[in-house]
Amino acid sequence: MKALVFERSLPRLAAARAAGALTPGLGARLGALRLVDIEEPALPGPGWERVRPLLSGICGSDLATVDGRASRWFEPIVSFPFVPGHELVGTAEDGRRVVVEPVLGCAARGITPPCAACAGGDVGRCERIAFGHLAPGLQTGYCEDTGGGWGAVLVAHQSQLHDVPDALDDAAAVMVEPAACAVHGALAAGDVSGAVVVVLGAGTLGLCTIAALHRLALPGTVVTGAKYPDQQRLARDLGATIAVEPGEVRRAVRRVARSLVIGDRLAGGADIVIDCVGSAESLEEALAVVRPRGRVVMVGMPGRVSVDLTPLWQREVELVGAYAYGAEQSLGRRTFDVALELVHDAGLHRLVSAAYPLDRYVEAIDHAANAGRRGAVKVVFDQRRHVRSSSRHAGAAQ
């Protein structure tokens, strides 16, 4: 089968890192990602089935991987070579459309009894992601045994599969995974009713987070920093009260929070800041605009950053991470179930801006890496032509 494969090649990773630093997305041309013919992944055991991806998204963490910017933290919890792609809608063997909840927790790994987190349904916090009968891999798309969405076939455990309601088209369904991250991030903010919430970044994650806040958490005011006019428009459509250019965020927060100013920083600030970028600059901005004893939620994947944490200490700011999904205790529901509804209710299908076949992956990744500038949000790989043609062949064979 055709698949984009990411190999562990130190020279190629170094080349990707150098190229990606110059031009985001250039790592796809020079790095460790290649389009190759490989064997379909074998079913690891009972409870597993084959899934043929229809649409598969390119996310920020994929871009970091392709450009060699991913943190070394991941080294022991990924296995090479792997087929990337963890945001996907596909067709199961019985023809039903499914989205994959990609975390490879205890159930998928055949580990019994499950760890405490998995026992509570909170697979995102699984303590066994490098153990069991699968190679290490925190998610589908980072594990050499499972394949990923950027290939023609992947394998998924039944515990990972969620049926897609007919009301959701493919574009909507491919947004379920990022929407689930956003739901988890928005709920990690805690009780935000009436609060001033800042969302930094208005890419896919930022926009989905705004939608999640608007529908699940009822904040008082949502301020977002969005670099491009289209992002600002979408942010407002999805529920942001104020959408301004990143350089204006501090001024907007000051006004909304009615804060005084000390030097070039705010004396007060926002109750909650949700950082959907994950850079040193965004974390620094988050700490600059959050109020004393406020909370900063990191939803965007950060990597190694250098930030002055003095404000965190002096203002007793709470810094929390929000990774992936699982069970949302505040709602008593699985994150993916909430995300499926959010995608439908907020019309998140509109965030899918462009689709490419796998063999145009260099263009696709370049488009995704420069999405905001080019007026796009989510760029996906589209393999529906192959899936339909292989279905016809299968039908003919029967």
Partner 1 sequence: MPRPGFVLEVDRSTPPTLLWHGEGFRLERFPTGTRVVYGPEPLEPLEDPDGAIRHALLHPVGDSEPLPALLRPGMRLTIAFDDISLPLPPMRAPDVRQRVIEAVLDLAAEAGVDDVVLIAALALHRRMTEAELRHALGDRVYDAFAPYGRLWQHDAEDPRNLVHLGVTDQGEDVELNKRAVESDLLVYVNINLVAMDGGHKSVATGLASYRSLRHHHNVRTMQHSRSFMDQHRSELHSANWRMGRFIAASGVKVFQIESTLNTDTFPGPFAFLQKREWEWGVRDRAAFIASSNALDRTPPALARQVLHSIRAPHEMTSVQAGEVEAVHALTTESVYRQQLVPVEGQTDVLTMGLPYICPYNVNSIMNPILVACLGLGYFFNLYRGRPLVREGGVVIMSHPTPWEFHPVHHPSYIDFFEQVLAETTDPVEIEAKFEEVFATDPWYIHLYRTTYAYHGVHPFYMWYWCAHALQHLGGVIVVGGDPRAVRRMGFKPASTLLDALEMAEDIVGRDPSITHLHNPPILLADVT
Query: Distance of CA 86 to CAs 153, 293, 363, Å?
Result: 13, 35, 19
Residue 72 CB coordination number (10 Å): 8
Stretch that binds partner 1, among 24-32, 165-173, 181-189, 243-251 (CB under 8 A): 243-251
Query: Pick from 21, 261, 320, 394: which binds partner 1 (CB under 8 A)?
Result: 261
Stretch that binds partner 1, among 3-11, 86-94, 250-258, 341-349 (CB under 8 A): 250-258
- Name residue, tokens 């064979």: 397
With respect to partner 1, which residue has the nearer C-beta, 8 or 233? 233
Stretch that binds partner 1, among 128-136, 252-260, 271-279, 358-366 (CB under 8 A): 252-260
Task: Report the Cα–Cα distance between both ends of the chain, in Å, rounded.
Answer: 21
With respect to partner 1, which residue has the nearer C-beta, 94 or 264? 264
Q: Considering the rule CB under 8 A, would residue 259 count as an interface residue with partner 1?
A: yes
Stretch that binds partner 1, among 8-16, 122-130, 249-257, 278-286 (CB under 8 A): 249-257
Q: Considering the rule CB under 8 A, would residue 258 count as an interface residue with partner 1?
A: yes
Q: Considering the rule CB under 8 A, would residue 194 count as an interface residue with partner 1?
A: no
Nearest-approach distance from CB 228 to partner 1, in angstroms: 14
Cis peptide preceding 81, ω within 30 of 0: yes
With respect to partner 1, which residue has the nearer C-beta, 167 or 262? 262
Query: Distance of CA 52 to CAs 350, 374, 385, Å?
Result: 23, 30, 11
Contact call for residues 381 and 56 (beta carbons, < 8 A): yes
Q: Considering the rule CB under 8 A, would residue 242 count as an interface residue with partner 1?
A: yes
The two three-digit tokens of residue 359, written as one number:
């063999």
Query: Pick from 75, 248, 281, 345: which binds partner 1 (CB under 8 A)?
Result: 248
* φ/ψ of residue 369, rounded to 5: -70, -20
Nearest-approach distance from CB 260 to partner 1, in angstroms: 5
Q: CA nearest 146: which of 97, 91, 100?
A: 100
Q: Considering the rule CB under 8 A, would residue 251 count as an interface residue with partner 1?
A: yes
| CA–CA dist 38, 4 (Å, integer) | 9
Query: Pick from 96, 133, 255, 293: which binds partner 1 (CB under 8 A)?
Result: 255
The two three-digit tokens of residue 90, written as one number:
């596909």
Query: Pick from 254, 344, 378, 386: which binds partner 1 (CB under 8 A)?
Result: 254
Burial class (CB in 10 A: 0-12, 13-18, 19+), 301: buried
Q: Considering the rule CB under 8 A, would residue 260 count as an interface residue with partner 1?
A: yes
Stretch that binds partner 1, among 174-182, 209-217, 251-259, 372-380 (CB under 8 A): 251-259
The two three-digit tokens of residue 257, written as one number:
């929070």
Q: How many chain residues are in contact with partner 1, going by CB under 8 A?
A: 11
Q: What does the angle CA 80 – CA 86 – CA 88 come to, to the nearest 5 degrees?
A: 140
Q: What does the angle CA 38 – CA 40 – CA 44 come to, to the nearest 5 degrees?
A: 130
- Looking at residue 343, its amino acid is V
Stretch that binds partner 1, among 116-124, 155-163, 208-216, 240-248 (CB under 8 A): 240-248
Q: Considering the rule CB under 8 A, would residue 289 count as an interface residue with partner 1?
A: no
Contact set with partner 1 (CB under 8 A): 242, 244, 248, 251-252, 254-255, 258-261
